[in-house]
Amino acid sequence: MELTAGKKAPSFSGVDQDGQKIALADFKGKKLALYFYPKDDTSTCTVQACNLRDGFKMLAKKGIEVVGVSPDDTSSHLKFIGKHKLPFRIIADTDRKVIEKYGLWAEKSMYGRKYMGVLRTTFLIDETGKIVKIIEKPKVKEHADEIAAGFGL
């Protein structure tokens, strides 16, 4: 299924860094920025997470919840959150079920080497569970502002 703005976001459930269950249904009636990234504590992923941390209060004032998703496990997420004082939850999608449901497990290439990985992408989902916007290749240093603008706020 090709995901586009205006379509229902695929439902998901997983566990966060604390082993707590988290699902799309938990955000009914709320705006959600569901951001997918490749790996905890790598340079670009850290810049993006810290930008979201720094813009977290602004996003919360606009009624936007932030949830990260990566294939790292809960202990990796706990270290990443602790080291960078991240105020949002991160889904430990070790089996890539959520990542694949959103069509973000794909072939990538770096320095001529091809490999499978997560496509850095953010889905903006409205209060009814509908996709408002898909931000492909987010500007990691400006991502919080990008999210607010994507919701028209």
Q: What is the pLDDT along the chain (153 residues), one digit of tens a residue?
A: 589 999 999 999 999 999 999 999 999 999 999 999 999 999 999 999 999 999 999 999 999 999 999 999 999 999 999 999 999 999 999 999 999 999 999 999 888 899 899 999 999 999 999 999 999 999 999 999 999 999 998
Catalytic residue among 9, 22, 24, 45: 45
CB atoms within 10 A of CB 136: 9
Helix 43-54 crosses helix 74-84 at what angle (to 10 degrees)? 60
Q: Which pLDDT value is given to residue 85?
A: 98
Q: Which pLDDT value is given to residue 1?
A: 57
CB atoms within 10 A of CB 109: 9
Euclidean distance between CA atoms 47 and 52, whole angstroms: 9
50 is catalytic: no
Q: Residues with Cβ < 8 Å from 4, sequence gap 6 or more?
A: 131, 134
Q: Residues with Cβ < 8 Å from 57, sequence gap 6 or more?
A: none
Handedness of CA 109, 110, 112, 115 (dihedral sign): negative
Query: Which pTM was predicted?
Result: 0.95
Pairing of strands 64-70, 89-92: parallel
- Identify residue 5 by its one-letter amino acid code: A
Q: Which CATH class is domain 13-150?
A: alpha beta
